Chains A and B, each alone.
Chain A
Amino acid sequence: RKEVEQDPGPFNVPEGATVAFNCTYSNSASQSFFWYRQDCRKEPKLLMSVYSSGNEDGRFTAQLNRASQYISLLIRDSKLSDSATYLCVVNIRADTGRRALTFGSGTRLQVQP
């Protein structure tokens, strides 16, 4: 089982739609969670951190469910410019004790006019 799993998509949604992605992680000791956005052939950029209490930034809402070991990203009122790949990132502590940010394979979102 992968340490961080995401549905690769693509999610094809019309402009104005609400779309949600989930990401599951296998290591219950994971402490930090993030959503990054990556445009085609570009570097990833931080979209938002995910806090235990959930957090919102404009049209974007991130939530953490520790019991079920998943995080989610909700995008309201989708814009064409939201089209990208959304990467789930989890700070995982390996058996060696070393921590590393582990990336999911990403969920592709395509917002259509």
Chain B
Amino acid sequence: GAVVSQHPSWVICKSGTSVKIECRSLDFQATTMFWYRQFPKQSLMLMATSNEGSKATYEQGVEKDKFLINHASLTLSTLTVTSAHPEDSSFYICSARGRQGSMELFFGEGSRLTVL
């Protein structure tokens, strides 16, 4: 199946700093990638849809100025958490569809962010 790689797996940062998370499709081109956030014992919540070459589409309640998404190439999308606060501590996961028309999602390994 398709492979999606995410980096870093773990990150600890101080409050007020910015953190960038990368999501790469390793063996396929992904015009669309999805970013999710998951708090402990809760479901994955879609934050935004990342579109290659255009602006991301954010879900209601997600601040686009705080969670910057860039999808500059067909294999890379980045999520930057700006001015991170402790309440931003969460598990962030990206995903992509392996092929056009398929509904199956392939997920990155996830990035666990802890803001002190």
Chain A positions within 8 Å of B, measured between CB atoms, are 8, 32, 34, 41-46, 49, 87, 91, 98, 100-106
Contacts and interface: CB of A to CB of B under 8 A. Distances in A.
Contacts of B105: 44, 46, 101
B42 interface: yes
Nearest to B94: A43
Interface of A (DSSP majority class): strand
Interface in B59-116: 91, 93, 103-105, 107-110, 112
Nearest to A32: B103
Contacts of A100: 46, 49
Contact of B44 (A41, A44, A45): A44
B104 A105 contact: no
Interface string B27-54: 0000000101000011111100100000
Interface residues of B, number: 20
B93 A43 contact: yes
A49 B93 CA distance: 21
Nearest to B49: A100
A105 B108 CA distance: 19
Nearest to A36: B105
Nearest to A106: B43
A34 B103 CA distance: 9
A34 B104 contact: yes
A44 B109 CA distance: 9
30 contacts: A8-B41, A34-B103, A41-B91, A41-B110, A41-B112, A42-B109, A43-B93, A43-B107, A43-B108, A44-B44, A44-B93, A44-B105, A45-B107, A46-B104, A46-B105, A49-B103, A49-B104, A87-B44, A100-B46, A100-B49, A101-B46, A101-B103, A101-B105, A102-B46, A103-B36, A103-B44, A103-B45, A104-B43, A105-B43, A106-B43
